[in-house]
Structure 1
Amino acid sequence: MSTNQPKKLSKSDRTKTSILEAARELFAEHGYDGASIRDIAARASIDPAMVIRYFNSKDELFARAALFDLRLPATLVTDHASIGDAIIKRFLRTWEGSPSATGMVILLRSAASNEFAAEKVRDVFANQVRPVVAAFGNPADAGRRAGLVASQLLGLATCRYLLRLPPVVALSHEEIIQNVGPVLQRYVMGADAT
């Protein structure tokens, strides 16, 4: 028997995966408030009690469905002059080439009307954006600069991926990098940077 065979998922793991996929789809389509446990169970073709059995609550299921890693390149960039371009390139790769991008769609769609989702967005900011920005420029104003970076990235994500504004959707990666990269560079390095 070959040891290179993929491991088969248990029935329990298949059920959890099915629930999580259904939750991601419904949270991305309708936000936190618009997706019920009953709707998620129906999409996963299971009893609603199974959702609670595996995830304990809607909040816990949401937290798992909305996991998102921007994968910002703090340790990958040694040239401070290119951090803006590096961030926007990574952002585009993550949003347009990663299955985890659904997590941020879920968060953005839900955060405006749900405090739990808003807190998750703040967590992404505090744990993923701020530490990268703090590694550059003046540490005393890292929070302000990180907030500006987040405003740019979240604004772009909202316009391009949620609202799908035609002129923003039509922009090529090169056009976005050319226009957004320098703005991010200025935000990351701070006004005093040369």
Structure 2
Amino acid sequence: MSPDVPRRSDATRAAILRAARARFAADGYQRATIRAIAADAAIDPSMVMRYYGSKAGLFAAAVDVDLRLPDVGGIPPERLGAELVRHFLRRWEDSAAEDDALLTLLRSAATDEDAAQRLRGVFREQVQPVALRLAGGDPDKAGRRAGLVATQLLGLALCRHILRLPPVAALSAETIVEEIGPTVQRYLTGAR
């Protein structure tokens, strides 16, 4: 088999993950079933179990989130807030929102404590180190800053992509960057 041709198992795994993200997003973790996810992926439920072992294992794989944050060292300090907002907007809007693990996790976290814990972990492990670097190594200050950044970015995702709040959903990406960027900047740098 040519290395350029994906293996059938890779395609099956990808189909399962797409179906799982959509199902978890629509039904939440508790109501989503392996049988429904398998039907959505047009495969036998035993294949889901073969690849992921359990519903919990499948959920963990479906919401494995890498924020792919930019290197803040390469961004002028006065542009950090705007660039972070722009990064998240591109991440959500340049890919299929229904296939986005972060949005799936956000939807599920509202009703499931395990999902909420996983979402807290994403921000603790990926956003807090950025804030720590900007807070001069002070972990308390970094935790507070990362948490406040999360309020803006997750609130934006909730209002724009999940609730589709008309005033927010209708804004251009650049308007959102202009409006929210300064707030995120203040949270990141502690400037008043």
TM-score normalized with structure 2 length: 0.90
Partner of 2:156: 156
- Count of matched residue positions in the alignment of Structure 1 and Structure 2: 189
User: Structure 2: how far apart are the matches of 1:139 and 1:168?
Assistant: 35
Say whether residues 1:53 and 2:50 are aligned partners: yes
Q: CA deviation at 1:86?
A: 1.0
Secondary structure of the residue aligned to 1:90 is helix
- Counterpart residue type for residue 108 of structure 2: S
Please tell me whether the aligned partners of residues 72 and 80 of structure 2 are also in contact (alpha carbons under 8 angstroms).
Answer: no
In the TM superposition, structure 1's runs of 4+ consecutive aligned residues that sit over 4 Å from their partners are: none
Partner of 2:105: 107
Which of 26, 31, 39 is residue 42 of structure 1 equivalent to? 39
Shift in CA distance, 33/134, structure 1 to aligned 2, threshold 3 Å: same
User: Structure 2: how far apart are the matches of 1:51 and 1:32?
Assistant: 15
User: Structure 2: how far apart are the matches of 1:74 and 1:15?
Assistant: 34
Query: Larger radius of gyration, structure 1 or 2?
Result: 1
Partner of 1:96: 93
The equivalences for 1:116-135 within 5 A come to: 116-135=114-133
Structure 1 runs not aligned, ≥5 long: none
Please tell me whether the aligned partners of residues 41 and 51 of structure 1 are also in contact (alpha carbons under 8 angstroms).
Answer: yes
Q: What is the Cα-based RMSD across aligned positions, in Å?
A: 2.0
- Per-residue CA deviation, residues 94-123 of structure 1 (Å, 9 max, x unaligned), is 111135861011101100211221121011
Say whether residues 1:31 and 2:25 are aligned partners: no
- Counterpart residue type for residue 161 of structure 2: Y
Q: CA deviation at 1:14?
A: 2.8
Q: CA deviation at 1:163?
A: 0.4
Secondary structure of the residue aligned to 1:54 is helix
TM-score normalized with structure 1 length: 0.89
- Per-residue CA deviation, residues 17-42 of structure 1 (Å, 9 max, x unaligned), is 22122112212222212311010111
User: Structure 1: how far apart are the matches of 2:80 and 2:6?
Assistant: 41
Structure 2 runs not aligned, ≥5 long: none
